[in-house]
Amino acid sequence: MSRLASSLDRLESHYDVVVVGSGYGGGVAASRLARAGKRVAVLERGREFVTGEFPARFPDLRAELQLTGKRLRLGSPTGLYDVRFGEDMHVLIGCGLGGGSLINAGVALRPDPRVFRDPVWPDEIRADGLIDEGYARAARWVRPARDETAAERNKYRALASAGVALGKAPVQAPVVVSFAPTVNPAGVAQPACTRCGDCCGGCNVGAKNTVALTYLPDAARHGAEIFTHAKVRHVARAPEGGWRVGFERQDAVALGSTKPGTLTADVVVLAAGTLGSTEILLRSREQGLALSDRLGQRFSANGDIIAFGYGAKLPVDAIGVGHPPKVEGLDVGACVSGQIEIVDEQDLANSLTIQEGVLPSALAPILPALFIPNGRLLGALKSLIAGVYKGPFASLQTFFAVSHDTASGRLVLEDDRIALAWPGAKDEPVYRRLDVALEALVRQAGGSYVKNPLAGTMMGQQPATAHPLGGCGMGRERGEGVVNHKCQVFDASPGAGAADVHDGLYVIDGAIMPRSLGVNPLLTITALAERAMLHLARDRGLAFDAAPRTYTTPISPMAPGRA
Ligand SMILES: Cc1cc2nc3c(=O)[nH]c(=O)nc-3n(C[C@H](O)[C@H](O)[C@H](O)COP(=O)(O)OP(=O)(O)OC[C@H]3O[C@@H](n4cnc5c(N)ncnc54)[C@H](O)[C@@H]3O)c2cc1C
Ligand code: SF4
């Protein structure tokens, strides 16, 4: 696929719409508003990765790590894997054109209906029926599918055998993966999944239905201009009307400096993810934009953890082989094929989902160092990649678990950077519940439960999440939330009514969730984004259709020159 992004030198000074960030929320907004005939610019802080360019070896993966902590800043600011070390909790997010979709496991689930019955959501979410239309549209574009052969995988069988401990059989997990060759709704020809397991490293086959292969090419086909290396810092009302967007050119970082830039737009959609959009609004408020006091509050980790079972009796084969495969003859499967669902009909908070996961092949060489005591020494001896596939790591179980927390984290600006404060995070009841369930599974499999192989390193004992939510949560008025049910940002200017909004300013991403979802969030973020676009179109007299297009010449997802 030729690149979607243009050089920032071609950025113009004004657009109808500026979309900040290019994950699920940004992709939907860019596609729909470009289809409505608007001049759209997408500003993404990270780089563009075309299929075939995702890290395949550990040194490549290490080069894509950016680590940020209170007094720490390591790696490139455009590194694909963005790890934020917090005093109370760590967060992993994606950085690149396509956002978290580039490195996620692609599990696409709709939450328990009780989640939306929580009165924390504005009433319209339940009442106007558009949430169902949002899910239907989201499903047509990201296309969740079940791998019909999932139960044949060793990792699925291992989960089934361990599940006896909980009295639960696994079910196939829907993932946004093309298991057969297809031309997708954006006209991109996607090959079939090779079941290489590398989804969380980045799909080098082009089979994962990322935002970069769906909504973004659709936006580009309808005229949206896409720019990478543009990190937005703040937004402010433009004196002439509309919005001024201030950004930093990250392409200049490599040359030792950042270069500021500004542009204006009639409409700004902040879709920079939970941390990114909240940070932009916190900074904008410092510079005078009147926003709700709720900004930064109700951060949720979605009760999400990753944990491991080491030493299981059955083979698991849950280390990716990558593409092209690093070893032959291993049928790993997509990153997640099966899950155990535990539904508590009495108390939603106790419901949880446990998925079997796969570690990306680029991590294979460092697994001995991570899991074996004194492993740094042993790791040097054992790091032959084939050893990892054949030795004890062939029975390493990786679990992704999702549930509910109390959404009591708070995002703040510290030294001009976003930071998470959640002093009681590690004592949230969800972690104990998950530990009990996972320990039982691992014991049944004959292994030892490894909650965090990096405990004792700079990771400490804090929990970590890859599902950050909240910070700009929805509410009925600004005393309750930061955005309304249409994702419009509440205006807290003196004299403004409690439900008044800033005309033309939206947040459309994971930040708008006022609570945990209890399932992996991508489908709900996409659905609420599709819903917000329906409202935006009605409010502004726009029309677009969201139907897949048929193109005479499908685009290949591969980087030019790669097969
Ligand atoms: C390893 C991993 C596995 C996961 N697995 C699953 C899964 O199986 N299923 C699921 O549902 N979810 C999963 N998730 C979570 C899911 O990917 C995220 O919830 C989702 O991507 C969030 O979408 P978003 O639109 O809110 O923002 P994002 O996808 O985070 O996109 C935001 C974009 O904005 C950019 N940005 C940030 N700040 C700025 C700025 N200042 N200026 C310009 N651009 C900016 C970012 O670089 C990013 O590209 C996983 C996440 C990870 C990390
Ligand atoms: S298993 Fe491999 S080919 Fe299939 S979606 Fe994941 S990374 Fe792509």
Query: Could you report the per-residue pLDDT of 47-57, keeping only the tens digit for each?
Result: 999 999 999 99
CA 254 centroid distance within chain: 26
pLDDT at 386: 61
Q: Whose CA is nearest to atom 8 of ligand 2?
A: 203
471 lines ligand 1 (CB under 6 A): no
| pLDDT band at residue 554 using 50, 70 and 90 as cut-offs | confident
Give yes or no for residue 381 having a pLDDT over 60.
Answer: no
pLDDT of 460 over the 80 cut? no
- Predicted local confidence at residue 380, as pLDDT: 40
> Token match 């030729």: residue?
2
Q: Is 60 exceeded by the pLDDT of residue 120?
A: yes
Q: Is any ligand 2 atom within 6 A of the Cβ of residue 511? A: no
Q: Which atom of ligand 2 sits closest to the CA of residue 198? A: 7
pLDDT > 90 in the chain, percent: 83
Alpha helix (H) residue ranges in 93-201: 113-117, 123-127, 130-142, 154-163
Please report the beta strands in 311-362, taking only residues with DSSP state E, as ranges in sequence order. Answer: 338-342, 352-357
- Please give the order of strands across the beta sheet that includes 72-74: 72-74, 65-69, 81-84, 90-94, 464-465
150 alpha carbon, closest ligand: 2
Task: pLDDT band for 443, please (50, 70, 90 cuts).
Answer: very high
Q: How many C-beta atoms surround the C-beta of residue 537 within 10 A? A: 16
What lies within 8 Å, CB to CB, of 391 at 6+ separation is 382
Stretch 106-135: mean pLDDT, rounded? Answer: 97
101 lines ligand 2 (CB under 6 A): no
pLDDT in tens, 134-145: 999 999 999 999
Pocket test for ligand 1, best of 8, 18, 45, 176 (most atoms within 8 A of CB): 45
Asked whether residue 252 carries a pLDDT value surpassing 90, the answer given is no
Distance CA 109, CA 75 (A): 33
pLDDT at 384 over 70: no
Closest atom of ligand 1 to 46 CA is 47
pLDDT score recorded for residue 508: 98
Judge contact between 353 and 336, C-beta under 8 A.
no
User: Does 150 or 369 have the greater pLDDT score?
Assistant: 150
pLDDT at 256 over 80: no
Q: Is the model's pLDDT at 152 over the cut of 70? A: yes
Instruction: Give distance in angstroms: CA of 162 to centre of ligand 2.
Output: 25
The torsion region of residue 386 among left (phi > 0), alpha (psi -120 to 50) and beta comes to alpha
As a three-state string, the secondary structure of 407-418 is CCEEEEEECCEE
Alpha helices (H) along 207-270? 215-221
76 by DSSP, 3-state: which? coil
- DSSP class of residue 1 equals -
Measured in Å, residue 533 CA sits from the centre of ligand 1 at: 19
Query: H/E/C letters for each residue in 114-134?
Result: HHHHCCCCCHHHHHCCHHHHH
Mean pLDDT of 488-494: 98
Would the CB of 509 count as within 6 Å of ligand 1?
yes
CA distances from 344 to 404, 431, 518 (A): 12, 16, 12
Q: How far is the CA of 342 from the centre of ligand 2 (A)?
A: 27
- The 3-state DSSP composition of the chain as helix, strand, coil percent (nearest 5) reads 30, 25, 45
Q: Where are the beta strands (DSSP E) in 379-416?
A: 397-402, 410-414
Could you give the CA distance from residue 19 to residue 222 in angstroms, rounded to a whole number?
15
Taking the alpha carbons at both ends of the chain, their separation in whole angstroms is 11
User: What pLDDT sits at residue 374?
Assistant: 47
Closest listed ligand to the CA of 49 = 1
pLDDT tens digits along 505-547: 999 999 999 999 999 999 999 999 999 999 999 999 999 998 8
Distance 391 CA to ligand 2 centre (A): 23
| Ligand number, closest to the Cα atom of 281 | 1
Ligand 1 site, residue 25, Cβ cutoff 6 A: yes
Residue 332 CA, closest ligand 2 atom number: 1
Query: Which residue's alpha carbon is at the smallest distance from atom 6 of ligand 2?
Result: 199
Q: Which residues contact 508 (CB under 8 A, 6 or more apart)?
A: 25, 26, 28, 29, 269, 270, 271, 487, 528, 529, 532
Residues 58, 78: Cα–Cα separation, whole Å: 18
pLDDT of residue 492: 98
Tens digits of residue pLDDT in 330-368: 999 999 999 999 999 999 999 999 999 999 999 988 888
Q: Is the CB of 30 under 6 A from ligand 2?
A: no
Share of the chain above pLDDT 70, in %: 94
Q: Reduce the DSSP state of residue 43 to 3 states and report it.
A: strand
